[in-house]
């Protein structure tokens, strides 16, 4: 006569004084019905069939030119074609673009122009001393 299957880890787990029962193991919140387990098993079977098909194509001695991987195609589409949901032009992004794009250019323009004006003023006053030529020039 066959014995009963061993109890699941969820049934064996007992909370302690310091650790409460996780929601995944609490029978009040997590009690997978037969339908849910059947659906999960079907999804697992589909996933394993797709994985096996992909691995067979990948390890084929004479592979086709392109091995289609639906997940990779979806990922490439999301990265390349579908840009709008990940970036929305708002006032904040426009301001940040100006700060990070234009501010450094304007800063260096101001610094170089101020230095040139300072040197030009010193030259006109006769106070500018030309730096010595380098030995390597």
What's the pTM value of the predicted model, to 2 decimals? 0.36
Q: Which has the higher per-residue pLDDT, 38 or 83?
A: 38
For the stretch 64-83, what's the b/e string if a residue is b when 16 or more beta carbons lie within 10 angstroms of its beta carbon? eeeeeeeeeeeeeeeeeeee
pLDDT digits (tens, 9 = 90+) for 76-123: 887 777 666 677 789 999 999 999 999 999 999 999 999 999 999 998
Nearest residue to 33 (alpha-carbon basis) of 41, 21, 43: 41
CA 107 – CA 101 distance, rounded (Å): 11
Q: What is the pLDDT of residue 118?
A: 93
Q: Which has the higher per-residue pLDDT, 107 or 128?
A: 107
Distance of CA 89 to the CA centre of its chain: 20
């Amino acid at each position: 006569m066959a014995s009963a299957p061993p109890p699941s880890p969820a049934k064996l787990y007992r909370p302690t004084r310091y650790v409460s029962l996780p929601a995944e193991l609490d029978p009040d919140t997590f009690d997978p019905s037969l339908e849910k387990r059947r659906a999960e098993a079907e999804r697992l079977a589909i996933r394993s069939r797709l994985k096996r098909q992909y691995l067979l194509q990948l390890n084929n001695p004479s592979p086709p030119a392109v091995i289609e991987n639906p997940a990779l195609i979806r990922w490439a589409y999301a990265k390349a074609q579908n840009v709008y949901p990940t970036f929305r032009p708002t006032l904040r992004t426009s301001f940040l673009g100006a700060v990070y794009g234009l501010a450094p250019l304007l800063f260096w323009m101001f610094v170089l122009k101020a230095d040139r004006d300072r040197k030009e003023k010193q030259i006109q006053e006769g106070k500018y001393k030309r730096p010595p030529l380098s030995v390597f020039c």
